Structure 1
Amino acid sequence: MSGGAKLFAEGLQKTFHRRQVVQGVSFNVSPGEVVGLLGPNGAGKTTSFNMVVGLVTPDAGRVRVGDEDLTHLPMHRRARRGVGYLPQEASVFRKLTVRQNFLAVLELQKGLTSQDRQKRADTLLEEFGLSHVGESWGETLSGGERRRAEIARSLIPAPRFILFDEPFAGVDPINVGDLQRQIHLLRERGLGILITDHNVQDTLGICDRAYIIAQGQILEEGTPAQIAGSARARAVYLGDRFRLQAP
């Protein structure tokens, strides 16, 4: 696990239509760590995740990186402070090639010449196994290629953390392992990764730690093995037949 400031969610609370859906949820992510945020539908998992992303403002509690409070910052300002976000929905620019997708973001980076941008795009295409589709339109990519392109593009602003919303959704089973490897490489780069996904097996297969949210509160926290062995997690979410697969 790398050094550096952690990402914290502290005492998050949220009420919708007089129903408190998140009740004092706290969790953290360290640089160089992959953390899962899991739970049944309606448990408050997605709302908790969205409060960290900046899509939902908490009624109480705060979100911070180190000592810097991000609670009331919009998403684009959180991004400038190193908190990146990859939504479940396709975010690749469909009418641009993969290379153009990268160049569009590189244009926003200060101090780069045109040659610098092209070289950086080439590097990303090679690193993420996308050289063969570099000149292909975004709308023609497979689910796995699209996800790799989105991950590669998200690295251009040099984030410290990336928040993944349902990264395995729409990805063919044969490409799940590849996506897990890409997330592992982000971890090796020293990025902190927060994942929320309904695919428990694939998510726990890449996590260092995970949190289970139930009825708006943290029910369990621990390593994947600890989560899989938790009687409470099995009773509320995993089920008695759940078995953690070897990575």
Structure 2
Amino acid sequence: MTLLHVDDLAKSFGQVVTARSVSFQVAAGEALGIVGPNGAGKSTLLNLVTGTLPADAGTIRFDGTDVTRMPAARRTTLGIGRTFQVPRPFEGLTVFENVLVGSTFGAGSRRKEAAAQAWEALETASLAHLANTRAGSLRLLDRKRLELARALATQPRLLLLDEIAGGLTEHELPALIETISAIRDSGTGVVWIEHIVHALLQVVDRLMCLAQGDVVATGDPREVMASDAVAAVYLGSPDLEGE
């Protein structure tokens, strides 16, 4: 079942084009990876899907409903959740309280249900043992997990991840990869932007490469990474597999 259907999406900031006729689909239980150099339009694309930015043209349909002009908060309650590149928790609140904000205001759940959803999200993100810890004291890995838990607390059917592995060590990556794989296997659609491509390749079913707002290639992850078009995009850049 197609969960997200993006068709001919376009966005520009003056003369800078960040999305040019971008089209793709994501099914329930499918993971789509997105790669591309800095400035390719990857984060802008997530902002368009979530409603943080308005599209100049094109359509976004979620589970058959046209959400192109729908406010961001409404898209969240429908089931579109996301994380951000830089975690910004409410540092004075506990980890549990941070996640409770997501289930209460993102999912719109009542008090008892919201608390249960928040706890479930913490367990999925492997953060329940830090539930009573002040968020401002967390190390980077746990801040990333908190960002994930807050998104999961909104009860998403589609989860958008923006460089959630960025800054983590090779030792820290396997547990995060396992968590994201489990989320996908539960039936949640996943769109994951990431520069650490070897992490993506362990999870995603398809890969899309963006450059200057254009879709350069899409398809089987390893075939996309081996394509001449994608190699040309990264010409002169460090080997992605080593990032």
Q: Distance in 1 between matches of 2:22 and 2:119?
A: 42
- Indicate conservation of the 8 Å contact 2:195/2:240, yes or no: no
1:65 shift after superposition: 1.0
Structure 1 residues 205-240: Cα deviation after superposition (integer angstroms, max 9, x where no partner): 321111111243211111211112212212222779
Q: Distance in 2 between matches of 1:128 and 1:73?
A: 29
Residue of structure 2 equivalent to 1:196: 193
The partner residue of 1:158 within 141, 155, 159 is 155
Shift in alpha-carbon separation, 1:15–1:185, aligned structure 2, 3 A: same
- Indicate conservation of the 8 Å contact 1:11/1:26, yes or no: yes
Residue of structure 1 equivalent to 2:145: 148
2:11 equivalent to 1:14: yes
Q: Distance in 2 between matches of 1:122 and 1:52?
A: 27
The partner residue of 1:57 within 37, 54, 61 is 54
1:55 shift after superposition: 2.2
Shift in alpha-carbon separation, 1:16–1:161, aligned structure 2, 3 A: same
Amino acid in the other structure paired with 1:76 = A
- Indicate conservation of the 8 Å contact 1:234/1:240, yes or no: no
Q: Distance in 2 between matches of 1:217 and 1:26?
A: 10
Q: Aligned pairs, how many? A: 240
The partner residue of 1:216 within 207, 213, 224 is 213
Residue of structure 2 equivalent to 1:39: 36
| Matched ranges for 1:165-244 at <5 A | 165-237=162-234, 242=239
1:107 shift after superposition: 4.2
Q: Distance in 2 between matches of 1:121 and 1:102?
A: 5
Indicate the percent of aligned positions where both proteins have the same amino acid. Answer: 33
- Indicate conservation of the 8 Å contact 2:50/2:76, yes or no: no
1:31 shift after superposition: 1.0
- Indicate conservation of the 8 Å contact 1:228/1:242, yes or no: no
Please list every run of 5 or more consecutive structure 2 residues that lacks an aligned counterpart in the other structure. Answer: none
- Indicate conservation of the 8 Å contact 2:196/2:240, yes or no: no
Shift in alpha-carbon separation, 1:110–1:143, aligned structure 2, 3 A: same
Shift in alpha-carbon separation, 1:234–1:131, aligned structure 2, 3 A: same
Shift in alpha-carbon separation, 1:80–1:121, aligned structure 2, 3 A: closer
Q: Which has the larger radius of gyration?
A: 1
Shift in alpha-carbon separation, 1:244–1:206, aligned structure 2, 3 A: farther
Q: Distance in 2 between matches of 1:21 and 1:162?
A: 21
RMSD: 2.5
Q: Distance in 2 between matches of 1:16 and 1:121?
A: 37
Shift in alpha-carbon separation, 1:130–1:23, aligned structure 2, 3 A: closer
Please list every run of 5 or more consecutive structure 1 residues that lacks an aligned counterpart in the other structure. Answer: none
